[in-house]
C-alpha cells in the first residue's frame, strides 16, 4: 500500500498569510494526487486533481504542485473561509490512501 | 445539480448488520465508478470500497474485506454498502462519492453516521 504523509498536522495562520502544506508518498505516484478541503461537519470538497489542476469553481489562490513522491498545496493569501482541514489522497492505485490531514487554524 | 444522498445509518450492536444506500441524481450515474469513504469521529478519511460502472471491478479495503459488500443498481441510480459483522471500529460517518478517471473523488454526499456499540 502507498502511504501518504502530510505535514504539518496543524498550522496557525492569519488571514492574508501564505500557507504551504506538503504531502509525501511512500513510492512514486507521478501526478496521481488530489487535495481536498473539509470543514467541520461537512463532506470533503475536491480542490486539486492530477496534482496541479484546479477543480472548477475553486478560487485561484489555491494551487498544487509536485510529481513523483513530493507534493505541495499552497494557499497564496488565506481568506476567512479557508480555515479548515486539508487532505491529500493518492489516486495512483488501490487501496486509495489519504494523508493524515492538516488543520489550518486561526492564529 | 449533482446530488448524492446517503441513508441507512444508525446504531447497531457489535456483530450486527446494516445496509447503506446512496441515491444519485443530476449526472449520468451509470457511467461513473462510485466509492465509499468513511471517517471515524475526530479522525481522518479512510477509503472503504469502489465499484466500476458495470459492477465488474470491485476493490475493498483490507479492513472491510469479507465483511462489507459494495453494489449498485444503475436503473435506480443507487449505490449500496452491505455491512456485516460490524465492529466498534467501524463507527464512522460513511460518504459516497463519484470517482473520476484520474482517481479523484469529485462529488460527495453529506454522509450517514454508523455507530456500532452495545
Residues A4-32: tens digit of each pLDDT: 999 999 999 999 999 999 999 999 999 99
Residue B59 to residue A97, Cβ atoms within 8 A: no
**What is the average pLDDT score of chain B?**
97
pLDDT for position A107: 86
Using DSSP, state whether A81 is helix, strand or coil: helix
Do the strands B18-25 and B78-83 form a parallel or antiparallel pair, or are they unpaired?
antiparallel
B35 contacts in chain A (CB < 8 Å): 96
Residue A94 to residue B102, Cβ atoms within 8 A: no
Do the beta carbons of residue A89 and residue A101 sit within 8 Å? no
CB-based contact, B9 to chain A, within 8 Å: no
Selection from B18, B97, B108, B29 nearest residue B64 by Cα: B18
Residue A91 to residue B61, Cβ atoms within 8 A: no
B92 contacts in chain A (CB < 8 Å): none
CB-based contact, B27 to chain A, within 8 Å: no
pLDDT for position B5: 98
Residue A34 to residue B50, Cβ atoms within 8 A: no
Q: Which runs of consecutive H residues, i.e. helices, occur in B11-76?
A: none
Q: To the nearest whole angstrom, how far is the Cα of A64 from the nearest Cα of chain B?
A: 14
Residues B62-76: tens digit of each pLDDT: 999 999 999 999 999
Selection from A89, A83, A85, A92 nearest residue A23 by Cα: A89
Q: Measure the CA–CA gap between B79 and B34, rounded to whole angstroms.
A: 8
pLDDT for position A3: 98
Nine-digit cell string for B53: 460502472
Report the DSSP beta bridge partners of residue B46.
B38
Confidence class for position A106, pLDDT limits 50, 70, 90: confident
B94 contacts in chain A (CB < 8 Å): none
Residues A26-84: tens digit of each pLDDT: 999 999 999 999 999 999 999 999 999 999 999 999 999 999 999 999 999 999 999 99
Amino acid at each position: 500500500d502507498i502511504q501518504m504523509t502530510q505535514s504539518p498536522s496543524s498550522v496557525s495562520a492569519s488571514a492574508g498569510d501564505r500557507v504551504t502544506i506538503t504531502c509525501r508518498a511512500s513510492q512514486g505516484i507521478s501526478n496521481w494526487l488530489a487535495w481536498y478541503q473539509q470543514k467541520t461537519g461537512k463532506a470533503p470538497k475536491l480542490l486539486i486533481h492530477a496534482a496541479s489542476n484546479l477543480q472548477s469553481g475553486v478560487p485561484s489562490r489555491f494551487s498544487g504542485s509536485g510529481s513523483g513522491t513530493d507534493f505541495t498545496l499552497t494557499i497564496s493569501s488565506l481568506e476567512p473561509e479557508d480555515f479548515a482541514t486539508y487532505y491529500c489522497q493518492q489516486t495512483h492505485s488501490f487501496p486509495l490512501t489519504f494523508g493524515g490531514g492538516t488543520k489550518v487554524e486561526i492564529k | 445539480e449533482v446530488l448524492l444522498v446517503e441513508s441507512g445509518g444508525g446504531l447497531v450492536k457489535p456483530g450486527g448488520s446494516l445496509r447503506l444506500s446512496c441515491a444519485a441524481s443530476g449526472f449520468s450515474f451509470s457511467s461513473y465508478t462510485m466509492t465509499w469513504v468513511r471517517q471515524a469521529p475526530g479522525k481522518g478519511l479512510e477509503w472503504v470500497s469502489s465499484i466500476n460502472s458495470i459492477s465488474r471491478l470491485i476493490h475493498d479495503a483490507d479492513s472491510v474485506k469479507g465483511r462489507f459488500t459494495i453494489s449498485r443498481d444503475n436503473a435506480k441510480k443507487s449505490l449500496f454498502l452491505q455491512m456485516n459483522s460490524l465492529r466498534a471500529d467501524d463507527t464512522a460517518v460513511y460518504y459516497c462519492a463519484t470517482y473520476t478517471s484520474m482517481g479523484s473523488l469529485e462529488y460527495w454526499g453529506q454522509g450517514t453516521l454508523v455507530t456500532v456499540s452495545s
